[in-house]
Structure 1
């Protein structure tokens, strides 16, 4: 079980923690994507997962990709928000329908990260 005491809410999210959470919640290691739409940043839990034969990444590539997504989340200071959402959302990714969390991004760091995604 993940530790959700207030002191851990601000701790950076790690690859192992997120993989454990995904497997515990949905028994599958779903793909996470960051998407920018109309100047807003969203975290999507996609319907494709590592355990599928047709999944386009091997485990090492998946872990690298997840580390990149989590780096952005952590740099924006949103680890606690994402952690809480992953643990409490009542929805489940379904074929063709990703789960979506709008990330509240503010300040110069956020603007520069958004620009990176728009390039």
Structure 2
């Protein structure tokens, strides 16, 4: 988790929120435009880290940690107000475990 926080901070100078989103039986990791250092962010640092740990646990269980790390390191986009960055997660045989 610390690695991801450091990657976000070094890349975009902010601890952006990460969310898992499901659409049409596909799962996406989204880097949201809200970030921990923002005054209006709804979580404190402890809550942010707990939430991030939950998201990263699923990413790790899907075997997508390396893909996510590479994507966060190389994407040319950056989160901005009203526009999250999205990465479709692979591993369809494992996705069934997380989709309702």
TM (norm. structure 1) is 0.82
Q: Is contact 2:26–2:89 with CA below 8 Å preserved after alignment?
A: yes
Please say if 1:110 is aligned against 2:95. yes
Bigger fraction of residues in helix: 1
Q: Tell me the matched-pair count.
A: 100
Stretches of structure 2 lacking an aligned partner (at least 5 in a row):
none
TM (norm. structure 2) is 0.97
Partner Cα distance (1:21, 1:73) in 2: 16
Partner Cα distance (2:39, 2:71) in 1: 28
Q: How does 1:1-119 map to 2 (within 5 A)?
A: 15-107=1-93, 109-115=94-100
Find the counterpart in structure 2 of residue 3 from structure 1.
none
Partner Cα distance (2:81, 2:57) in 1: 27
Q: Which runs of 4+ in 1 moved over 3 A?
A: none
Q: Is contact 1:50–1:57 with CA below 8 Å preserved after alignment?
A: yes
